[in-house]
């Protein structure tokens, strides 16, 4: 599909000096004279068209004279003059086409005009902060690279082998966090009425160019990955209608903004469908990830990453006296959607608990298509020596009709709008707005650094993400092995797909604990029937565990077969909050006391219930079984259980289920109160 591209030629001709200064302000100096050259070409075009008109008029006059039956000598002269005029008209038309093509090339190279809100130069304006006006005192400057390696979340060495520098593997909880961040960002936008779309990663080169993305930046650095094709491809990237075999070149999209914008190329959108707002996740590809150094280590600058992008088409604003749109830009449809996008970005970062600053970006930082841009930069402890510790995590831009003109995306049903014919309405060009809802690697890096607990060696998962994490993981913990009576085990792998009971003990050879372990060992068949496995923990080494197990088997007449963790240094107890920092500090004094806890963990590895007992009170195996029966019944049937409930007794219909739905599902429902209803299962 060939694009019918255009630029605001009338405005460029009328305000050439403004476009020159705009190029200088935006570091587009090589294009600063384009406006003046377009003006010169326009004057040439006007002159040639006038000459062509005069030639046509003379040619028409000759045709009338010839019809009048002129003498042969005079007729021959008129025919010779008509022949010359025809040749001159062909030259005029060719010259006009050449001038128009040069004007179009020069005009399409011009960057968008900057908004009145955009600071001129290289310094942004600070608009505000998120989650406090100053960075938090975290007590560390540990990078996400170090945290990721310690918790087995990131692997840069393997990716260097497979792909080279600037690539990475996300592992374990980091891979799960990526999906959680995507789902959370989508959920925030969807509740505001945004439509979810998943775009392609490959786009035609001319579509990317029309959006303002060029193969190389002004320094000559490669920006876009080109895809090799077995078809021939025109040098300009546009499809060639004359060749059956030719096809436009394909590139990897650097952002979903490109395929989203291109989805409405050569289309006309009715005004009653606007604003048209879409959001979607995609893989993004950047050929130049930046110079090597501290700023580019880890996930901050990479060649491939996941991003959730917002994109919208809006109606153009009413034309102002200057011809550039409404004087009060804040009232334009694009500004309204822009503010909504920034609001979504603020909500996401606020709920993730990240401190950030909001910046109105300066003219030097604007891409070709943007007229206004706001960035939000989160605080990274590892970047305290770079930009005061801040790094960009979201961006939002208004592009006016820059992309729509180049993609020929029009709006019909306008009234007195910019782009309408002579400002009288009808059809005009749409305006576009884009914004990042979630740049996954950077936000993930910020979460690892800001959520890092240097004392426990864990990362806290923000509450809003837990619902999308298997087992609603609250924190990412070390994945190291523990020594047990059954050998070294990885606790994560040990859990597998079973229910698990973990119970802890302050020491071997304690009287109450001895009776408890014996009782649990005798219940093995009951637990097996419920797909439950057991594992114990005691704050002694393996040497004493073996003798203690012998005592337990002798006293309780049983055969204890589940593993018992050796936790003499209390590291596991500390990691799972069985003891506090003061207890851990006192280990060397011999007075640390592991809390006597019971953890019930479901197959998704979520801790569903914790029971803590004093040293004086023995645990109740029947209660543990009852709780497991209740949890499993609730999960399988979608019910809750009353006090002292046992298998086979009536259960409670949850308040979220209507009586009618409960009757369809369970049959009879006994209502004691509107909020208290019993049924059988």
- How large a percentage of the chain has pLDDT more than 70? 88
Across residues 584-613, what is the average pLDDT?
76
Asked if pLDDT for residue 291 goes beyond 50, the answer is no
| Mean per-residue pLDDT over the chain, rounded | 88
Residue 238's pLDDT is what? 55
386: left (phi over 0), alpha (psi -120 to 50) or beta: beta
3-state SS, residue 149 = helix
Q: Which two tokens stand for residue 521?
A: 């060992």
Residue 110's pLDDT is what? 92
Residue 674's pLDDT is what? 94
Reference 354, options 455, 442, 435, 477; nearest CA is 442
Asked if pLDDT for residue 673 goes beyond 50, the answer is yes
Asked if pLDDT for residue 572 goes beyond 60, the answer is yes
Q: What is the pLDDT of residues 113-155, one digit of tens each?
A: 999 999 999 999 999 999 999 999 888 889 999 999 999 999 9
Asked if pLDDT for residue 420 goes beyond 70, the answer is no
pLDDT band at 539; cut points 50, 70, 90:
confident
Q: What is the pLDDT of residues 371-396, one digit of tens each?
A: 999 999 999 999 988 888 999 999 99
Residue 292's pLDDT is what? 46
Q: What is the pLDDT of residues 169-186, one digit of tens each?
A: 999 999 999 999 999 999
Q: What is the CATH number of domain 482-637?
A: 3.40.30.10
Asked if pLDDT for residue 482 goes beyond 50, the answer is yes
Q: What is the pLDDT of residues 5-47, one digit of tens each?
A: 888 889 999 999 999 999 999 989 999 999 898 899 999 899 9
Q: What is the dihedral of CA 157, 162, 167, 170, to 10 degrees?
A: -70
Strand 431-439 and strand 390-400: pairing? antiparallel
- How large a percentage of the chain has pLDDT more than 90? 65
Task: Write out the DSSP string of 571-634.
Answer: HHHHHTTSS-HHHHHTGGGT-----EEEEEE-TTS-EEEEEEE-TTS---HHHHHHHHHHHHHH
Q: Contact, 274 vs 313, CB < 8 A?
A: yes
Q: List the single range of 61-75, 294-308, 413-427 with lowest mean pLDDT.
A: 413-427
Q: What is the pLDDT of residues 316-335, one digit of tens each?
A: 987 644 445 444 455 799 99
Question: What pairs with residue 610 in β-bridges?
Answer: 599
Write down the architecture of domain 9-109 according to CATH: Orthogonal Bundle (1.10)
Strand ranges, E, within 461-531: 475-476, 481-484, 487-490, 499-505
Residue 271's pLDDT is what? 94
Q: List the single range of 20-29, 195-204, 232-241, 583-592 with lowest mean pLDDT.
A: 232-241
3-state SS, residue 311 = strand
pLDDT band at 221; cut points 50, 70, 90:
low
**Rounded Cα–Cα distance for residues 7 and 405 (Å):** 6
Asked if pLDDT for residue 236 goes beyond 60, the answer is no
Question: What pairs with residue 374 in β-bridges?
Answer: 360, 396
Asked if pLDDT for residue 549 goes beyond 90, the answer is yes
Taking CA atoms, 161 is separated from 149, 167, 291, 315, 475, in Å, by 17, 10, 20, 49, 30
Helix (H), strand (E), coil (C) string for 229-291: CCCCCCCCCCCCCCCCCCCCCEEECCCCHHHHHHCCCCCEEEHHHCCEEEEEEEEEECCCCCC
Reference 144, options 351, 380, 302; nearest CA is 380
Q: What is the dihedral of CA 205, 207, 208, 209, to 10 degrees?
A: 90
Most confident of 269-273, 290-294, 570-574: 269-273
Cβ-based neighbour number of residue 267 at 10 Å: 12
Peptide linkage before 596 cis (omega within 30 of 0)? no
Which position has the higher pLDDT, 622 or 420? 622
Q: Which two tokens stand for residue 62?
A: 């000759």
Most confident of 23-27, 236-240, 397-401: 397-401
Asked if pLDDT for residue 245 goes beyond 50, the answer is no
Residue 173's pLDDT is what? 94
Segments making up each domain of the chain, as ranges: 9-109, 125-141+197-228+253-443, 482-637
Across residues 471-490, what is the average pLDDT?
84
Q: What is the pLDDT of residues 500-534, one digit of tens each?
A: 999 988 888 999 999 999 999 999 999 999 999 99
Asked if pLDDT for residue 594 goes beyond 80, the answer is no
Q: What is the pLDDT of residues 67-85, one digit of tens each?
A: 876 667 788 888 888 888 8
Which position has the higher pLDDT, 564 or 80? 564
DSSP H helix total and E strand total for the chain = 21, 29
Most confident of 42-46, 73-77, 92-96, 675-679: 675-679
Residue 385's pLDDT is what? 81
Across residues 610-625, what is the average pLDDT?
93
The fold for domain 125-141+197-228+253-443 equals BirA Bifunctional Protein; domain 2 (3.30.930)
3-state helix, strand, coil in the chain (%, to 5): 40, 20, 40
Asked if pLDDT for residue 277 goes beyond 80, the answer is yes
**Rounded Cα–Cα distance for residues 344 and 89 (Å):** 58
Residue 417's pLDDT is what? 46
Residue 197's pLDDT is what? 98
């Amino acid at each position: 599909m060939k694009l019918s591209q255009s630029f605001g030629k009338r405005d460029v001709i009328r305000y050439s000096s403004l476009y020159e200064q705009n190029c200088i302000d935006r570091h587009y100096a090589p294009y600063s004279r384009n406006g003046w050259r377009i003006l010169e070409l326009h004057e040439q075009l006007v002159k040639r068209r006038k000459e062509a008109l005069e030639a046509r008029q003379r040619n028409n006059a000759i045709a009338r004279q010839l019809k009048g039956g002129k003498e042969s000598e005079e007729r021959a002269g008129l025919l010779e003059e008509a022949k010359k005029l025809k040749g001159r008209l062909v030259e005029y038309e060719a010259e006009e086409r050449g001038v128009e093509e040069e004007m179009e090339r020069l005009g399409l190279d011009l960057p968008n005009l900057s908004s009145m809100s955009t600071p001129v130069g290289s310094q942004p304006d600070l608009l505000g902060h998120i989650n406090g006006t100053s960075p938090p005192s975290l007590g560390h400057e540990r990078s996400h690279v170090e945290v990721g390696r310690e918790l087995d979340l990131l692997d840069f060495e393997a990716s260097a082998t497979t792909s080279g520098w600037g690539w990475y593997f996300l592992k374990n909880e980091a891979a799960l966090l990526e999906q959680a961040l995507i789902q959370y960002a989508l959920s925030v936008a969807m509740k505001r009425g945004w439509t979810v779309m998943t775009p392609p990663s490959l786009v035609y080169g001319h579509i990317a160019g029309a959006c303002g993305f060029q193969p190389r930046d002004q320094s000559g650095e490669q920006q876009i990955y080109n895809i090799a094709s077995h078809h021939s491809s025109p040098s300009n990237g546009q499809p060639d209608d004359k060749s059956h075999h030719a096809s436009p070149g394909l590139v990897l999209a650097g952002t979903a903004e490109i395929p989203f914008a291109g989805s409405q190329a050569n289309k006309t959108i009715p005004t009653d469908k606007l604003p048209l707002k879409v959001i979607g996740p995609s893989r993004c590809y950047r050929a130049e990830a930046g110079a090597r150094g501290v700023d580019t280590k880890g996930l901050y600058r990479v060649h491939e990453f996941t991003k959730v992008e917002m994109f919208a088409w809006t109606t153009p604003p009413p034309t102002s006296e200057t011809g550039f749109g409404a004087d009060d830009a804040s009232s334009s449809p694009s500004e309204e959607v822009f503010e909504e996008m920034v609001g979504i970005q603020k909500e996401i970062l606020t709920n993730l608990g990240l401190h950030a600053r909001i910046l109105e970006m300066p003219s030097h930082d604007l891409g070709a298509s943007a007229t206004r841009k706001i960035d939000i930069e989160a605080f990274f402890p590892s970047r305290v020596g770079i930009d005061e510790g801040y790094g960009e995590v979201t961006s939002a831009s208004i592009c006016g009709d820059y992309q729509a003109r180049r993609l020929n995306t029009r709006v019909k049903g306008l009234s007195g709008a910019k782009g309408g014919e002579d400002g009288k309405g009808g059809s005009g060009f749409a305006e576009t707005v884009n914004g990042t809802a979630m740049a996954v690697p950077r936000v993930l890096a910020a979460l690892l650094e800001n959520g890092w607990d240097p004392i426990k060696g864990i990362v806290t998962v923000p509450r809003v993400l837990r619902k999308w994490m298997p087992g609603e993981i609250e924190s990412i913990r070390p994945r190291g092995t523990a020594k047990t009576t059954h050998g070294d085990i990885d606790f994560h792998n040990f859990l597998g797909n079973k229910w698990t009971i973990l119970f802890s003990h302050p020491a071997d050879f304690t009287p109450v604990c001895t009776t408890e372990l014996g009782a649990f060992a005798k219940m093995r068949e009951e637990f097996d029937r419920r797909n439950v496995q057991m594992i114990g923990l005691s704050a002694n080494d393996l040497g004493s565990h073996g003798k203690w197990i012998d005592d337990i088997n002798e006293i309780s007449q049983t055969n204890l077969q589940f593993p018992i963790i050796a936790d003499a240094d209390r590291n596991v107890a500390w990691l799972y909050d069985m003891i506090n920092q003061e207890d851990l500090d006192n280990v060397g004094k011999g007075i640390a006391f592991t809390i006597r806890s019971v953890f019930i963990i479901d197959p998704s590895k979520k801790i569903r219930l914790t029971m803590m007992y004093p040293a004086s009170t023995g645990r109740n195996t029947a209660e543990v079984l009852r709780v497991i029966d209740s949890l499993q019944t609730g999960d399988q049937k979608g019910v809750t259980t009353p006090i002292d409930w046992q298998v086979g007794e009536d259960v409670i219909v949850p308040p979220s289920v209507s009586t009618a739905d409960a009757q369809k599902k369970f049959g009879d429902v006994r209502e004691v109160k509107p909020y208290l209803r019993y049924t059988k299962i």
